[in-house]
Structure 1
Amino acid sequence: MVAPEEVFQEFADSEEAQEYYREHNSKRDEVAEEKLQPLIDDFQSGDVDVVEFKSRIDGLNKRNQLWGFDGFIGQMHFNKLFNAAPDEADFGDRLREAIQPPESVDEAGEKIDSFAEYTQRLKNNDIDSDPFPKSTIFFLSYFWHIQRPTECPIFYPTSEQYLGDVGLLDTDAPYGTRYVSFVETLDELREEANPWLDNSVEYRDVANAIYWYEEWDESEIDEEETGGGTEESATFIDVDKPYLPPVVADLDEVAAGTDEAVNRYAPVDTELPVIFERKCGTLFEMLGFDTKVLGQGSGRNPDGIAEAVRNDYAVIYDAKKREEGYRIGRDDRTIREYIETHTRRLRDQGKRHIYFAIVSSSFRDTEESTLRDLRTNTDIDNIVLLKADVLQELLRMRLEEPYLNLDDVEWVFGNRPGEIQSEELENIVPEWRQRDREFSVS
C-alpha cells in the first residue's frame, strides 16, 4: 500500500490535479457560501421546514455534484430518515440540532453517536425505509463541513477505506469514536503534507489527494472539457435564454412589468396582465398540458386550467403580474372560490390529483398557515407558488430532454406546498437518467 507521503507527493506533482482542484474548490466555496449556507440558516431559524429543506438540498446537490451528497449515504439516506420518521416536526427538530456544528471534536463524536442511535430506532420501527446508522458519519459531517469547512472534515468512504488499509484508522470502531480518530488522523496528515502541498493544508486537500490516488479517472476531466455529458447542470440548468421559444422567452419580464416589457408591448392594445395570462397559458401548453385559458372576461374564474389528460391530474393556475412580488393576503377567499368551482368537475372527469399554482414575478410575506388552510379545507391536493423564471426553466428542461413527461412534471405541483425553488427542478429527473456516481470528493 502506498504511504501517505507518496500520495501527497504524487498529488502535488500533478499539474492536472492541481488545476482541477483549484477550480473545483473554488466552485465548492461559491456554492456553499451563496446557496447551501443560506438554506441551512433558513432551516435552522425555522423559516424553512424539513420537507422544503430536504427537497432543496436534493436539488442543489444534483445540480452541483461537488461533495458526493447526491448518493446513497447522503440524499438517499436523508430520504430514508424522513420516510421512517413517525413525526415530521420532531424529525425536523432533531435534524436542526444534529447539523449544528460541534464546538469540539469530542462533541462531534457525541452528536454522531446520538443521531446514529436515533437512526437505529427509526430503522427498527420502519423496515420499509431502512435507514443505515453508519451513514450518520458522512451525513452529519457534510452539513458541518458546509458551515465550517476548515474545522469539520467530511467523512468520505474513500478516505476511510484508504486510512484503514494503511493502518491509520480503526474502521470497526464505534461511529463517534471513528470520526474523532478520523479528524485526529487528518490533523497529523495535514502536518505531513505541508512539504508537498500548500503551507496551509486544509482537510479537503488531504481528501482530494487520497481520492486522486484511489479513484481518479482522467476521463472525467476529458468528458467535462469536451461536453461529454457528465455534468447534469450543463444539461438542465446552464442554458441560454434563446433556447426558450420566443413567445414565452420574456415571461419573467412581463410578470415583473419591466421597462423593457412595457415598451415592447406599448403598441399592442392589450394590458400587460392580460399578456402575462396568455403567455402562461401558452407555456403550459408547451409543457404538454391540455390548457383552457379563462382569465379576464370569463367571470369569477382563475386564469386557466392545465389538464394532464393521460396522467389523471390537473393544475388550476392563476397568473399575477406584480412589480414588487405577489402576496396572497386576502386573495385566499378568491382562491378558495376558484378551487370549489372547478375541483368537482375535474374529479367527475376522473382527475385523481388537482393542484393550484400561482405564477408571479416573485413572492413576499407568504404565510404557510394560509396555504395549509387552503389544503385542509378545500378539495385541492396541493398549492404551489411558481416564479415566472422557474416556470421558464421547467419548460427548458422539458423541451431539451424529451424523455421527461407529465408524470415527471407532476412532482413540481404535488411534492410540497409553498414556493418552489429553481434548484428543486432537478428532482423531476428520473433516477435512471441521473448520473451513476459513487461517493467521492471529486
Structure 2
Amino acid sequence: MAAPEEVFEEFEASEEAQSHYEEHNQKRDKVSEEKLQSLIEDFQTGDVDVVEFKSRIDGLNKRNQLWGFDGFIGQMHFNKLLNAAPDEGDFGDRLREAIQAPESVEEAKTKVDSFAEYTQRLKDNDIDSDPFPKSTIFFLSYFWHIQQPTEWPIFYPTSEQYLGDEDLLNTDAPYGSRYADFAETLDELREAADVWLESPAEYRDIANAIYWHEEWDESDIEEEETGGGTDEAEAFVDVDAPYLPPAVADLDAVAAGIDEAVNRYAPVDTDLPVIFERKLGVLFEMLGFDTEVLGQGSGRNPDGIAEAVRNDYAVIYDAKKREQGYRIGRDDRTIREYIETHTRRLRDQGKRHIYFAIVSSSFRDTEESTLRDLRTNTDIDNIVLLKASVLQELLRMRLQEPYLNLDDLEWVFGNRPGEIQSEELENIVPEWRQSDSDFSV
C-alpha cells in the first residue's frame, strides 16, 4: 500500500489525472449550483414532495454521473427506503431533517446514527425492500456535500477502504462515529495535501487522488470519450435538432404563442391553439401511439387520446396554449367530465391503465390537492402535467434510441402525479442501457 504522501504526489504528477478532474470538477460545480442545490431547497421547503424528489434526483444523477450517487448505496438505497416506508409523508419529513446540513461534527454523528436506526427499522419491517443501514453514511453525506462542499466530505467506499488499510480510520466503528472520524481524518489530509499538492486542497481532491490510485482504469476515460460516461448521459436527452422532426420542432413555441410562432402561422387560416392540438397529435403518433385527435369541433372532448394498443394503456391528453403558463384552476370539472366520458370505453377495450396528461408551455400555481382529488374520485390511474418542451425531449430520446418502446414511455405518464421535469426522463432508460459504475468519483 502507498502512503498518503505518495498517493497525492502521484496524483499531482499525472497530467491525465489533473486534466480529467479539472473538467470533472467544473461539471460538478455547474450541475450542483444550477440543478441540485435548488432541487434540495425545494424539497426542504415542501414545494417538492419525496416521490418527486426521488425521481428528479435519480434523473439528474443518471444524466450527470459525477458523484457516484447513481449506484447501489445512493439512488438504489433511496428507492429501497421509499419502498419500505409505510408512510410517504412521514418518510419525507424524516428525510428533510436528515439531509439538512449539520452545524457540527457531533450533530452529523447524531444524524447518521439516528437515520441508520430508522433504516434498520424499515429493513426489519419490510423484507422485500431490504434497505442497508450502512448506506446511510454515503447517502446523507452526499446531500450535505452538495449543500456545503467545503464543510462535509462524501463518504466514498473507496476512500473508506483505503483509509482503513492505512490504519487511518476504524472501519468497524458505529456509523455516526465512523463518519465523524472520516471527516476528521480528511481534514488532516487536507492540511498535509496543501503541502504535497502545493495548493489548497478540497475534500474532493482527497477523494479524487485516492480513487485515481486505488481504482482508476484507462477505460473510465475511454468510456466518457466514446459516449459511455457523463458526456453521453447529458447528450442522451439534449441531442441536436436533426433528431426532432420539423413538424413538431416548434411545438414549444406554438404552446407559448411567442411572436415567432404567431408570425409563422399568420398566413394560415387556423387558430394557433388548433395548430398546437394538431402538432401534439402528430408528436404522439411519432412516439408510437395510435392517436385519435378530437379537440375543437368535436364537442366536449379532450384534444386527443393516445393508445398503446399492445401495451394495454392509453393517455387522454388536453392541449393548453398559454403565454404565461397554465393554471388548472376551475378546469378540474371539465377534466373530470373528459375522464368520465372516455375511461369506460377504454376499459371495455381492455386498457389496464388510463392516464390523463395536460400539455402546455409551462405551469403555475398547481394545487396538488386538485390532482389528488381527480385521481381519487375518477377512474384514472394518474394525471400528469407536461411542458411541450419535455415532450419534445421525450421524442428526441425515442428517435435517437429506437430500443425505447411504449412500455418504457409509460413511466412518464404513470410514475407519479404532477409536473414531470426534463431531468426525470432519464428514468425511462432501461437498466441494461445505463452505466453500471457505482462508485466513481
| Both structures adopt the same fold (TM-score exceeding 0.5) | yes
Residue 193 of structure 1: aligned partner: 193
1:23 Cα deviation (Å)? 1.1
Q: How does 1:341-360 map to 2 (within 5 A)?
A: 341-360=341-360
Q: How does 1:225-264 map to 2 (within 5 A)?
A: 225-227=225-227, 231-264=231-264
Q: In the aligned structure 1, how far is the partner of 2:252 from the partner of 2:230?
A: 30
Residue 121 of structure 2: aligned partner: 121
Summarize deviations over 1:309-355 as a string: whole Å, max 9, x none: 00000000000111110011111110000000000000111100000
Structure 1 pair 69/200, CA: closer, same or farther in 2 (3 Å)?
same
Summarize deviations over 1:71-103 as a string: whole Å, max 9, x none: 000000000000000111000000000000110
Q: In the aligned structure 1, how far is the partner of 2:310 from the partner of 2:222?
A: 42
- Give TM-score scaled by structure 1 length: 0.98
Matched, 1:419 2:419: yes
Contact 1:232 1:434 in 2 (8 A): no
Q: In the aligned structure 2, how far is the partner of 1:109 from the partner of 1:143?
A: 15
Q: How does 1:381-420 map to 2 (within 5 A)?
A: 381-420=381-420
Q: In the aligned structure 1, how far is the partner of 2:42 from the partner of 2:241?
A: 30
Q: How does 1:294-305 map to 2 (within 5 A)?
A: 294-305=294-305
Contact 2:193 2:200 in 1 (8 A): no
1:232 Cα deviation (Å)? 4.0
Contact 2:305 2:315 in 1 (8 A): yes
Q: How does 1:372-387 map to 2 (within 5 A)?
A: 372-387=372-387
Structure 1 pair 175/202, CA: closer, same or farther in 2 (3 Å)?
same
Q: In the aligned structure 2, how far is the partner of 1:287 from the partner of 1:59?
A: 20
> Counterpart of 2:238 in structure 1: which amino acid?
D
1:242 Cα deviation (Å)? 2.9
SS in 1 for 2:315: strand
1:260 Cα deviation (Å)? 1.1
Residue 109 of structure 2: aligned partner: 109
SS in 2 for 1:2: coil
Q: In the aligned structure 2, how far is the partner of 1:228 from the partner of 1:140?
A: 27
Contact 1:69 1:75 in 2 (8 A): yes
Residue 369 of structure 2: aligned partner: 369
1:240 Cα deviation (Å)? 1.6
Contact 2:81 2:129 in 1 (8 A): yes
Contact 2:295 2:304 in 1 (8 A): yes
Contact 2:102 2:108 in 1 (8 A): yes
Q: How does 1:15-414 map to 2 (within 5 A)?
A: 15-227=15-227, 231-414=231-414
Residue 12 of structure 2: aligned partner: 12
Summarize deviations over 1:406-441 as a string: whole Å, max 9, x none: 010000000000000000000001111111112121
1:237 Cα deviation (Å)? 1.7
Q: In the aligned structure 1, how far is the partner of 2:176 from the partner of 2:6?
A: 29
4+ runs deviating over 6 angstroms? none
> Counterpart of 2:29 in structure 1: which amino acid?
D
1:198 Cα deviation (Å)? 4.8
> Counterpart of 2:239 in structure 1: which amino acid?
V
SS in 1 for 2:74: helix
SS in 1 for 2:195: coil
SS in 2 for 1:72: coil
Q: In the aligned structure 2, how far is the partner of 1:208 from the partner of 1:307?
A: 49
Contact 1:62 1:232 in 2 (8 A): no
> Counterpart of 2:440 in structure 1: which amino acid?
S
Summarize deviations over 1:238-287 as a string: whole Å, max 9, x none: 31223201100110010011111111111111111000000000000000
Moved more, 275-284 or 224-233: 224-233
Structure 1 pair 330/198, CA: closer, same or farther in 2 (3 Å)?
farther
Q: Which 5+ residue runs of structure 1 have no aligned equivalent?
A: none
Q: Number of matched residues?
A: 441
Contact 1:232 1:435 in 2 (8 A): no
1:227 Cα deviation (Å)? 4.0
Aligned CA-pair RMSD? 1.1
Q: In the aligned structure 2, how far is the partner of 1:146 from the partner of 1:251?
A: 35
Contact 1:277 1:303 in 2 (8 A): yes
SS in 1 for 2:416: coil
1:224 Cα deviation (Å)? 2.5
Q: In the aligned structure 1, how far is the partner of 2:231 from the partner of 2:352?
A: 36
Q: In the aligned structure 2, how far is the partner of 1:78 from the partner of 1:232?
A: 24
Summarize deviations over 1:368-395 as a string: whole Å, max 9, x none: 0110111111110000000000000001
Q: In the aligned structure 1, how far is the partner of 2:228 from the partner of 2:148?
A: 33
Q: In the aligned structure 1, how far is the partner of 2:91 from the partner of 2:227?
A: 41
Structure 1 pair 146/229, CA: closer, same or farther in 2 (3 Å)?
closer
> Percent of aligned positions with the same letter in both sequences?
86
1:226 Cα deviation (Å)? 4.3
> Counterpart of 2:160 in structure 1: which amino acid?
E
Contact 1:412 1:420 in 2 (8 A): yes
SS in 2 for 1:336: helix
Contact 1:230 1:435 in 2 (8 A): no
Summarize deviations over 1:117-153 as a string: whole Å, max 9, x none: 0000000000000000000000000000000000000
- Give TM-score scaled by structure 2 length: 0.98
